[in-house]
Amino acid sequence: MPLDALALVLLAALLHASWNFWVKKAQVHPLAFSFLCSLVSTVCYAPVVWWFFRDSGLGIHGQGWWWIIASSLVHNLYFFVLQTGYARSDLSIVYPLARGTGPLLSAIGAMLWLGELPTTLSVTGLLLVVLGTFTIAGGVALLDRDKVASDKVKAGLLWGAMTGACIATYTLLDGYSVKYLLIAPLVFDWICAPVRGAMLVPILVHQRIDVRAAWRQSRKYALGVGIISPLAYILVLTAMQRAPISHVAPAREVSMLLAAFLGARLLNEGELRRRLMGAGLIAAGVAALSLSS
């Protein structure tokens, strides 16, 4: 993986873990929060998009719009599943499981669908990331029938895996859009934000979800996520233009180094030593991916 792509991924990982922590802290309706974040992203990034593309145009043609719609739909599903998982289980169970299954499926999909050929180092790195994820999520204790019987753990495993499937799907959709349809990452993510918000409006109205109350209760988190989350993802999309998707997707999981610490220390979820051990395995996997060609 080129060093510039790796640097983008590492910075994005730091930002990603931060906004996931804020999502965990925002105790409001998931769909209302998703809508608010989309609205914040649309408004805040509009001047940036206008400044960079005022002369050249957005550069979206033909089938690009269909990929944007598909991506927006999957991202909405992802955000709902993620927040539901955080509401029913621990950050340090849901987050690592989601961030482990997601890149695993993404890498397999990129190899099968996009024809990205694996190398010995890239496969080793991917396996280390998955092993680190398994360690953070609970290690061999996850195989303990009594522990798995816990409602909180079962919920974490279920919603974490579902979140990972969503991550893999939108990673492949978005990676294809910026890498092969040549849509600028900034433009792609910014256009998706209002599309995601518009998709939520009929549901919010039908269920009479009070968006204003959600804003009053969690506006600082909505502002933080609405600004930081797009920036992190734009960096990842840019990295995908410069390196194989099957390398970038698992490399993002270095964010679990920070997530493990936040979950154990700031959210009092415990077992810091085991989770940092798993994070070390993930870091080793990312190193292997960075050295693979």
The predicted pLDDT at position 271 comes to 63
Inform me whether the pLDDT recorded for 93 exceeds 80. Answer: no
What's the rounded Cα separation, in Å, for the pair 232 and 234?
Answer: 6
The predicted pLDDT at position 111 comes to 84
pLDDT confidence band for 195 (50 / 70 / 90): very high
Q: Round the CA-based radius of gyration of the chain to a whole number and report it.
A: 18
pLDDT confidence band for 122 (50 / 70 / 90): confident
pLDDT in tens, 144-176: 555 555 677 778 888 888 998 999 999 999 999
The predicted pLDDT at position 69 comes to 95
pLDDT in tens, 272-281: 677 778 777 8
Mean pLDDT over residues 228-234, rounded?
A: 93
For the chain, domain boundaries:
3-291
pLDDT confidence band for 266 (50 / 70 / 90): low
What's the rounded Cα separation, in Å, for the pair 288 and 128?
Answer: 9
Could you give the 3-state DSSP secondary structure of residue 293? Answer: coil
What's the rounded Cα separation, in Å, for the pair 251 and 254?
Answer: 6
Inform me whether the pLDDT recorded for 188 exceeds 90. Answer: yes
Inform me whether the pLDDT recorded for 140 exceeds 70. Answer: no
More confident residue, 195 or 284: 195
What's the rounded Cα separation, in Å, for the pair 97 and 85?
Answer: 11
What's the rounded Cα separation, in Å, for the pair 291 and 247?
Answer: 10
The predicted pLDDT at position 37 comes to 92
> Using CB atoms within 10 A of its CB, is residue 57 exposed (0-12), middle (13-18) or buried (19+)?
exposed
Q: What percent of the chain is modeled with pLDDT above 70?
A: 87
The predicted pLDDT at position 257 comes to 64
Mean pLDDT over residues 4-24, rounded?
A: 82
Mean pLDDT over residues 203-217, rounded?
A: 87
**Model confidence pTM above 0.85:** no
